[in-house]
Chains A and B, each alone.
Chain A
Amino acid sequence: MESTVGQFPPYREPEAHHAHQEHRHEHHNPGFLSSYVFSTDHKIIGIQYGLTALFFLLFGFFLMILMRWQIAHPGQPVPFIGPLLEKILGSTMAGNGAISPELYNSFGAMHGTIMVFLGVVPLAFAAFGNYVVPLMIGAPDMVFPRVNMASYQAYFLGGIVMFVSFFIPGGAAQAGWTSYSPLATTIPTHGQAFWLIGMVLLITSSLLGAVNFIGTIIQLRAPGMTWMRLPWFVWAQFVTAFLLLLAFPPLEAAGVMQLMDNLAHTSFFLPTGLAIGGKLASVSGGGSPLLWQHLFWFLGHPEVYVLILPAMGTVCEIIANNTRKPIWGYKSLVYSVLTIGFLSFIVWAHHMYMTGMGTKISAFFQTTTMIISIPSVIILTCLFISLWGGSIRFNTPMLFALAFLPMFGIGGLTGLPLGFNVSDVYLHDTYYVIAHFHYVVAPGTIFGLFAGIYYWYPKMTGRKMNEFWGRVHFWGSFVFMNLVFMPMFAQGMKGMLRRMADGGANYSAARVPGAIDTLPSSIMELHTWILWAAVALGIAQIPFIINLFWSIKHGEKVGDNPWQSTTLEWQTPTPPPHGNFAAPPRIYRGPYEYSVPGHDTDFTPQNEPDAPAPAIVPKMSPVPVAH
């Protein structure tokens, strides 16, 4: 089986097939660089994305640990790492090995940026999507393989730019992952420009990826793979790709404008009369800081659905597989995800309730925000109901998938007071918000992604990850994630604000005794608990990291379809070869034909033909049968 999905370079022209076959025996062995670094194969690119994203997730986690230390022990040198920090970042940023407020701010901004744009989205969308989607729909590869490679390279470059920004004088971006003007333009560091350039590269990567995903799902479905026979994972990735395609460009436009503000001294977002350090800034003025916020959040809101939808898709596949029954409400799931995609473009200003918007516009956004919670609840409900009457197998992927449901439930429900204008007035910019969105992304999305890694690992490597250490990883992560984030709801409701480098010490009852509504010691003491929970959470990831690499060579060997799944990616050899299928597979049924009555096995793969017609009985001469 020869594929014209050639390695780069050069892309082989699709010569007439007979001429092509003459060259088959001359096909050279692509070297290491062609096969693994400059590959155009969606599976290799998926793994590249996955490993890079996991590295950035770890790095972002590390930044968070440093921040939690600072919050619990403001101004005190960081143990073990302190001297190293001072040596690398200098004594202005990390004097004495303690984290300065500027360094804390840059950790905060970069933790958010790295986790969202370099960690979760590349893992959820690009890594899993790239590896699984073409296999699930019966395609030989993504529709534009070289564009696929270019999108990874743009992501990689963007990651380098972001990473390098820590080491420039002045430090990395420090104006939050939201990079609000005028702060983002007036901070005296080029880190903001690095951030913007990094973002432009990451946005380019996402746009190219989105074009690829949508094009592939529209054009390359195998014969018989109709839209309503697609696994719901593919639907989720399809909508995610549309969100990226149409919501990212306004942020790119805004990024270009903020870059002009930073480097060319324009005033797109700088208002007239702006004063810095007590002096009138020498800018032309006339700009609008709110314009940046609108353009940022126009992406920012669809972005959160980009974060959650692929994980929901993964969880859906794993639940169907491990309950051995079809998913309840497939049609509802499809219409809900389409509705979420559509509505997510017109809810963004619920992130801007505190910017002085009037009652009419606030009411509009509040209404659309409430409406969009309905399809989210429908999706979660369908997944919950799917468990009913199932024959549940509690393997590691299923544990993570099951935990996703209540964790996302908590995250989603705690979003409601934030969606209402009136309650958001109190809760905006407090730790309540941090707790809410971390619940959706951390025990939410990331659990879905862990589930996916344990689930699809056997298809990539031919071996299962170790089940015992998988459970250790699960329970450790589950317990400590909750211990880290649950207290933050209390802290937020008591009024503790975000992005405070001293952990709120300046507003504490200890610092200002007798003042009204200071942060009591019960709230401040939670910092220490959260720090220890975060450290324990980090330790709980160690078995996972070891397991991931150890199982490549030593994991339990399994066949092509160890989970007895119905979907197409399990009906290929392991790992799937270049071009995936020898010939286009033919699809005969929907994606979740588990426990179909009357069938020998409790699952029927999508490409298994219907039972052949009964054989024609050969003619026999009539023989009288004795009764």
Chain B
Amino acid sequence: MDIPYTVQPRPETGLYNAKVGIWLFLASEVMLFGGLFSGYVLLRVGADRWPHGWLNVTLGTANTIILALSAITTLLAWVACKVGHFGKFRFFHACTLLLALSFLGIKSYEYHDKWIHYEIKLNDGTFADGHLVEKSDDFDLANKTGTFTIHGRIVTDENDLYDLRSQKNIQLKEIIVAAADIKSIENYGPWHNTYLALYFTLTGLHALHILGGSIVIGYLWGPGRRMWKTDHQRFTNRIEVSGLFWHFVDLVWIFLFPVLYLT
């Protein structure tokens, strides 16, 4: 006996199997990201101070537009399958994949930007904060040799490093810091504070979902497209179901972007 309702819907529910499956899976994903967002709300409400303006809004907006566009091309790829235009389907999903790649590219650039951004506690109680320009060859914190050059600024109050939105005309210049003056040095990784921990974890998990979705769509665009010839209706359903996953990933970003970049 075959498994029924793989293509034709079950009359009682009006759904085919894969559609039920993907919506159930998406429900669990809502709870997954919901758990992370609940953590975000809790940690932020309970925090003494919270950074503002630490992320580049232009890049974030670009990524938002890229992902929104990819959601559109995903839908159009499915529509092309429904009307039988295989060529159009390949075009639109090729766009989807290129847009996904761009998203990940911009994300990597943003991660790298944080990676080379340092906060240096100096022995005199002030803070040097900026992007790494150069580390001298003999730079050694333990032995207090060498210099660490950043493009940034020096502040006396650490709180000034947090709310960048309310500060106007921040002047950045090249600063050479001697290792002997450094009390401690840490870059803007997830260990730096809870905001960055949440940023890296939330966007990292989201990026993994983008990657996973790209692999599935890439498979269907590439080796998996053989099914179009043998069972085009089932293939169209696969495009629809993978499209639903992709739209969900876009949906998560619709909340991630304002919550991390804008607030």
Contacts and interface: CB of A to CB of B under 8 A. Distances in A.
Given A4-B2, A215-B17, A287-B194, A295 B201 contact: no
B35 A252 contact: yes
Interface stretch (B23-31, B58-66, B127-135): B23-31
B205 interface: yes
B32 A268 contact: no
Contacts, number: 154
Contacts of A295: 35, 38-39
B29 A249 contact: yes
A218 B13 contact: yes
Interface stretch (B3-11, B95-103, B210-218): B3-11
B24 A245 contact: yes
A580 interface: yes
Dominant SS among interface residues on chain B: helix
Interface stretch (B141-149, B165-173, B227-235): B227-235
Interface residues of A, number: 56
A581 B227 CA distance: 28
Contacts of A247: 31
A268 B24 contact: no
B5 A219 contact: yes
A5 B3 CA distance: 7
B39 A253 contact: yes
A582 B2 contact: no
B183 interface: no
Interface residues of B, number: 45
Given A579-B1, A584-B1, A249 B24 contact: no
A286 interface: yes
Contacts of A143: 3, 17, 20-21
Interface stretch (B71-79, B83-91, B108-116, B184-192): B184-192
B258 interface: no
Given A219-B5, A220-B4, A144 B21 contact: yes
A382 interface: no
A442 B13 CA distance: 39
A144 B19 CA distance: 12
Interface string A129-146: 000000000011101110
B254 interface: no
Nearest to A265: B191
Given A256-B205, A268-B201, 20 more contacts: A13-B230, A14-B6, A140-B3, A145-B3, A207-B25, A220-B17, A245-B27, A245-B28, A249-B32, A249-B35, A253-B33, A254-B39, A264-B191, A268-B43, A286-B194, A291-B39, A291-B42, A294-B38, A579-B1, A581-B1
13 contacts: A5-B3, A140-B3, A214-B24, A215-B21, A219-B4, A220-B5, A250-B35, A251-B35, A256-B201, A257-B36, A286-B43, A287-B43, A295-B39
Interface of A: 1, 3-5, 13-15, 139-141, 143-145, 147, 207, 210-212, 214-215, 218-220, 245-254, 256-257, 260, 264-268, 283-284, 286-288, 291, 294-295, 298, 579-584
List 6 tightest A-B contacts by C-beta distance, closest first.
Answer: A250-B35, A253-B35, A249-B32, A266-B197, A249-B31, A140-B1
